[in-house]
Structure 1
Amino acid sequence: MPFSDKALPDGTLAISIVVPVRNEAENIIPLIEEISEALGARRDYEIIYVNDGSTDTTGERLSAAMKRWPNLRQLKHGISSGQSAAVRSGVRAARGAIVATLDGDGQNNPAFLPELIRALEEGGERVGLAAGQRVGRKDTGFKKFQSRAANAVRSAILNDGTRDTGCGLKAFRREVFLMMPYFDGLHRFLPALMRREGFDVAYVEVIDRPRRSGVSNYGFFDRLWIGIMDLFGVWWLIRRKNPTPEVNEVTPK
């Protein structure tokens, strides 16, 4: 049975699932089915696919799927603008107070979405992000090596207490995400930026899967130098953050 949208009294939703995709036509339907199965007991969520300038039949598959799933929305970028831009477009359009993200290639298992959302909800206002931490990586040896190296360098410079920032499975508070300075590559530094804003980060171990079909749209060498510049840019932002002063309203006596 397709999910029936049920908005909260003020017209918003509790949860928005944001999935950035580019040229993932074969993975569209299987992943939507898994997301719907994982969150089937809830009646307060939407799924937002951000079509980041796809040149295959991704857009057509999503348009057809919207007839089957009334809670499915598609946003389209005229040209490919990257994963961070796609995530931001989805978050800005989201009606949910909590946003959860996952990659559109099928490697992130939607079965872990409820656990991520629960970790965020149970953490209360002090927790701004629940981040998936991959175990049993299914990538090639070279990709696992480059990921370990990048995470080690990032952790040493930012001291963000996070083993794996590359996992697409995350849940965060929409209003907190939109407070952050936006830049291309933002999604790779969410734990450090959340801590910069004074929020805690919860961690959930998730089991990685092989890509279902297609090839990766995100290379290593084409983002290497940009990633290094982003790293030192985030380090600068953290260093320049002023403590938030305590504010008390004065009322007449």
Structure 2
Amino acid sequence: MSYEFTIIVPVYNEEDNLARVEKELLAYTKIASKPTKILFVNDGSKDKSQQLIEDICTRNDAFFYILFKENRGLSAAIKAGFDHADTPLVGYIDSDLQTAPSDFNLLLEHIKDNALVTGVRANRKDSFVKNMSSKIANGIRRAFTKDGMDDTGCPLKVIRTDYAKRIPMFKGLHRFLPALILLQNGTIKQVPVQHFPRIAGQAKFGLWNRLLGPLMDCFAYLWMKKKYINYEVAKKK
């Protein structure tokens, strides 16, 4: 089958969620507005996630996986997905499924005119502390990057693969994907999407890596913005 869209699913110790991930993503592939494949990136899980992933990929032709030798973090998992994507479009969703795969169709409606389309979690179903720390972190990041995005932490995005492969990814900079697309002179758009409570598994981000860590990353982004190389070829033989 000729696929046009790859959905990256980063996984780290999500054995309790993977049966639901299979069910919902398989259902999405049947209603997707573009032919879609699923790429699990197992970030060195220590539970039974890998065996479950291999079983899922054996059962379903459109499901594939990458297994890291050791845990390298969310940014590394997303980058690996970008590096291995072989379709014109790539996106990602968290394996906790706090966002709905069906909402990818909302984002795909706008990708023709943009390099990146990201979800904005409407009516978030998180704790007060998580919501407030996220809101503060987004405000700080927006002040640094001037990207105009309200919710870069939303784990539902679609990106044109040629842009995704040029993103200079570093640990923690998955929060800066819209700003990194702007460095390439790409256009970005945000679209409201659904949000749900986490049903199973453990959240991987606490106050430090949701608020204080991203503040430090803002300075890394500013350094990178100053040093970033971007060019267009006018002519060649």
Same fold (TM over 0.5): yes
Q: Which residue is 1:3 aligned to?
A: none
Q: Which residue is 2:160 aligned to?
A: 173
Q: TM-score, normalised by structure 2?
A: 0.92
1:223, CA displacement in angstroms? 6.3
SS in 2 for 1:26: coil
Structure 1 gaps of 5+ residues are: 1-5, 8-12
Alpha-carbon distance in structure 1 between the residues aligned to 2:59 and 2:110: 30
Q: Which residue is 2:111 aligned to?
A: 120
Q: Specify the code of the residue in structure 2 equivalent to 1:232.
A: F
Cα 1:29–1:239, aligned 2, differ >3 Å: closer, same or farther?
Answer: same
Q: Specify the code of the residue in structure 2 equivalent to 1:120.
A: I
- For the Cα contact (< 8 Å) 1:53–1:80, is it kept in 2? yes
Q: Specify the code of the residue in structure 2 equivalent to 1:83.
A: L
1:24 partnered with 2:14: yes
Q: Specify the code of the residue in structure 2 equivalent to 1:101.
A: Y
- For the Cα contact (< 8 Å) 2:29–2:37, is it kept in 1? no
Cα 1:250–1:138, aligned 2, differ >3 Å: closer, same or farther?
Answer: closer
Q: Which residue is 2:149 aligned to?
A: 162
Alpha-carbon distance in structure 2 between the residues aligned to 1:22 and 1:249: 45
Percent same amino acid at aligned positions? 31
- For the Cα contact (< 8 Å) 2:141–2:215, is it kept in 1? no
Q: Which residue is 2:235 aligned to?
A: 249
Q: Deviations over 1:170-207 (max 9, x none)?
A: 00011211112221112100111111110110211011
Alpha-carbon distance in structure 2 between the residues aligned to 1:222 and 1:196: 24
Alpha-carbon distance in structure 1 between the residues aligned to 2:58 and 2:236: 54
Alpha-carbon distance in structure 1 between the residues aligned to 2:236 and 2:213: 47
- For the Cα contact (< 8 Å) 2:137–2:211, is it kept in 1? no
Alpha-carbon distance in structure 1 between the residues aligned to 2:195 and 2:173: 22
Alpha-carbon distance in structure 1 between the residues aligned to 2:180 and 2:88: 19
Q: Specify the code of the residue in structure 2 equivalent to 1:66.
A: C
Q: Specify the code of the residue in structure 2 equivalent to 1:103.
A: D
- For the Cα contact (< 8 Å) 1:45–1:96, is it kept in 2? no
Taking the TM superposition and a 5 Å limit, the aligned residue runs for 1:151-230 are 151-222=138-209, 224-230=211-217
Cα 1:250–1:56, aligned 2, differ >3 Å: closer, same or farther?
Answer: closer
SS in 1 for 2:165: helix
Which of 39, 45, 55 is the matching residue for 1:48? Answer: 39
Alpha-carbon distance in structure 1 between the residues aligned to 2:224 and 2:90: 24
Q: CA RMSD in A?
A: 2.0
Q: Specify the code of the residue in structure 2 equivalent to 1:18.
A: I
Alpha-carbon distance in structure 2 between the residues aligned to 1:226 and 1:139: 20
Alpha-carbon distance in structure 2 between the residues aligned to 1:56 and 1:201: 37
- For the Cα contact (< 8 Å) 1:185–1:230, is it kept in 2? yes
SS in 2 for 1:133: strand
- For the Cα contact (< 8 Å) 1:112–1:206, is it kept in 2? yes
- For the Cα contact (< 8 Å) 2:153–2:175, is it kept in 1? yes
Structure 2 gaps of 5+ residues are: none
Alpha-carbon distance in structure 1 between the residues aligned to 2:15 and 2:126: 21
SS in 1 for 2:96: coil
- For the Cα contact (< 8 Å) 2:184–2:230, is it kept in 1? no
1:117, CA displacement in angstroms? 1.9
Q: Specify the code of the residue in structure 2 equivalent to 1:28.
A: L
Q: Which residue is 1:133 aligned to?
A: 120
Q: TM-score, normalised by structure 1?
A: 0.86
With 139-148 and 66-75 compared, the bigger mean Cα shift is at 66-75
Give structure 1 regions of 4+ aligned residues with deviation exceeding 4 angstroms.
222-225, 240-245
